[in-house]
A and B are shown apart, each in its own frame.
Chain A
Amino acid sequence: MILVHVDHDRGAVDAVSLQALTLARCLDSDVQAVIMGGAEFAPELGEYGASIVHVAEHPGLTDYAPQATARAIVGLINSLAPTAVLGAGTARGNEVLAHVAAMTDLPFAADCTEITLGSPVRVTRARWGGNLLEESTVITTTLFATVFAHAIPAVQSPAAGAVSAFTPELSPADLAVVIIERAGAASAGVTLAEAKVVVSGGRGMGGPESFSLLEDLAGLLGGTVGCSRVVTSAGWRPHAEQVGQTGTKIAPDLYIACGISGATQHLAGCKNSKTLIAINTDPDAPIMQIADYAIVGDVHAVLPQVIALTRAATGA
């Protein structure tokens, strides 16, 4: 049996957790889910292959509590003895499984793209934000792993989805770290992660003033502005706009990289864009090799032309 930790947040099941359920179903016919509260999600988890949905019920688990979640899962592991415990390759999924692994002193393989159970257990996992893969064997009694976000699509595979409620034993230390407050979005408008169009600038923009060009084009295309790390570390733009390994990973319909060289750490965040356009003075810049369309030129000359023609086309 494989146990899958499913995360949910204010009324919605986490999409990557469903991808973890799908991978689990490829490894074992018996897949069970564990969720903190949220019995109402059992039918949906059944659709994605969970035969039983173990629902942890505890007053301390009304909102996300990482160590308490892990403690509840460790309790279930002791009673159910699964061959593997999987979770989502997200901030929360990786955090919970790391706690589980620390509590049980077993290895934890984060961000796996492939898993083969047996002895030995084999995994392929993402390094460097997915730009490099590592093929490893894991020496363990129970495999703890998370599934790299969006590496495999969630596929329905209906099972019973029967609810089994349980009350975990939690200590005050398990509940020492909980969410005390939520701060809303600073500004309205499309967020980087959700935007269909991202117009992004790098060092080649020359300074913060030039980003008004990117704002204009993004505005005309219904998109938002992104940037490289050189730009955030110079203080030209806020970190919320940084695309890449240590910024946000996005997969918009259109990504326009202006004055960005295309370092692997930047590409880790934008290489899944459906269409990629690069504007760069250097024809040999790495971004130009992976772009669908490339213009070899100065952003200050090219962008005003593109903006003028786009504005004319929209009639704005």
Chain B
Amino acid sequence: MEILVCIKRVPLVGSTFILTDDASEIDTRRLGFTLSPHEECAVEAAVQLRDAHGGSVTLLSLGTAETEEQLREQLAIGADRAILAITDGSEPDPQATAAALLEAIRADGAQFDLVLLGSESADVAGYQTGIRLAHALGLPVVTGVKGLTVDAGVARCERAVGSEREVYSVALPAVITVKDGLNIPRYPSVPGRIKARKKEVSTHEVTLAAPRIVKGRLVVPAAAAKGTKVLDANEQGAAALVDVFREIGLLA
């Protein structure tokens, strides 16, 4: 089974959002970058499926040259090769993202039985790249998947709805977007990292269409000033908490 996984380099965010002076971007100078848990689960699922069914796992990311960092990290957990669709760093909207990913897939030329993406990107959360890519590739798409098995060319996809699960079935080739909780992604091992250094990362220059969702300012919503009450870490503090339980009607 030939599997493609689309992953996106996103800013690492700690306890608060620090924006650039013009409020157009997150300030990444201190914390650096990471991947969304959804996409980590997508790579883990791809590696598990390859190990069970044979074939290979290709990673694809659209981003700046530095995106190689995230691609190498995921090559280290077991993906076979990577494609980096290089941009100048301007932020495409989801429509332009899907178009550029399509261009890179076409330029690469390989045929994929399964294309995995995250349900939504960690930063933009456009909820659409996988669906747009599926329409462009003429493939069916199942989204938000938290349980995935493949048997005889058919994928069984489970999606959580409250405490229940909806089950969809789709014949491959197909696009599937997945969510955190699909599996527990492994950490890269030292041998994995060493092997990853030698794996192929091919680059494609892609042209980005002008965004039709034109990003203006970013705003950090103001948190309500709470006035935290600090209680003692002893019997008295514990008793005060029980009073709180009583006040909000949990205890008679």
Seen from chain A, the residues whose Cβ lies within 8 Å of a Cβ on chain B are 9, 64, 66-67, 91, 94-95, 98-99, 101-103, 105-111, 123-124, 126-140, 146, 173, 176-186, 191, 193-194, 196-197, 221-222, 229, 232-233, 235, 239-240, 242, 245-247, 253-254, 261-265, 271, 274-275, 277, 283, 286, 288-298, 301-302, 305-306, 308-310, 313-314
Contacts and interface: CB of A to CB of B under 8 A. Distances in A.
B188 interface: no
A178 B61 CA distance: 30
A176 B228 CA distance: 53
A313 B246 contact: yes
B156 to A, nearest CB: 8
B163 A128 contact: no
B167 A182 contact: yes
Contacts of B248: 253-254, 274-275
B99 to A, nearest CB: 10
B27 to A, nearest CB: 12
Contact of A107 (B95, B166, B185, B250): B95
5 contacts: A123-B213, A146-B127, A176-B171, A191-B163, A229-B37
B103 interface: no
Contacts of A124: 219
B235 interface: yes
B43 interface: no
A242 B215 contact: no
Main secondary structure of the interface of B (DSSP, over half): mixed
A306 B241 contact: yes
A233 B231 CA distance: 31
A115 to B, nearest CB: 13
Contact of B16 (A110, A134, A286, A294): A286
Interface of B: 13-17, 26, 36-38, 93-95, 119-120, 122-128, 131-132, 134-136, 140-144, 146, 158-171, 179-181, 184-185, 212-221, 223, 226, 228-235, 237-242, 244-246, 248, 250-252
Interface residues of A, dominant DSSP = mixed
Contacts of A297: 233, 237
A177 B170 contact: yes
Nearest to A9: B161
B213 A180 contact: no
Contacts of B229: 292-294
B134 to A, nearest CB: 8
Nearest to B140: A176
Nearest to B98: A102
Given A177-B170, A286-B15, A294-B229, A245 B219 contact: no
B37 A176 contact: no
Contacts of B230: 283, 293-296
A135 B251 CA distance: 44
Given A102-B128, A246-B38, A182 B241 contact: no
B128 A264 contact: no
Contact of B15 (A64, A137, A193, A262): A262
A131 B38 CA distance: 18
A108 B164 contact: no
A165 to B, nearest CB: 26
Contacts of A101: 95, 128, 132
A109 B128 CA distance: 9
A147 B237 CA distance: 42
A221 B250 contact: yes
Contacts of B216: 134-137
A306 B184 CA distance: 33
Given A95-B143, A98-B132, A305-B238, A185 B164 contact: yes
Given A264-B14, A288-B228, A240 B95 contact: no
A142 B81 CA distance: 40
Residue of B13, B125, B214 most packed against chain A (CB within 10 A): B125
Contact of B226 (A91, A134, A191, A292): A292
Contacts of B226: 289-292
Contacts of B171: 176
Contact of A136 (B15, B140, B213, B252): B213
Contacts of A183: 158, 164-165, 167
B24 to A, nearest CB: 10
A294 B228 CA distance: 7
B151 to A, nearest CB: 14
Given A91-B159, A180-B168, A292-B228, 11 more contacts: A98-B127, A102-B132, A128-B123, A134-B215, A179-B168, A181-B166, A185-B164, A191-B162, A263-B15, A310-B242, A313-B251
Contacts of B134: 102
B187 to A, nearest CB: 9
A105 B229 CA distance: 52
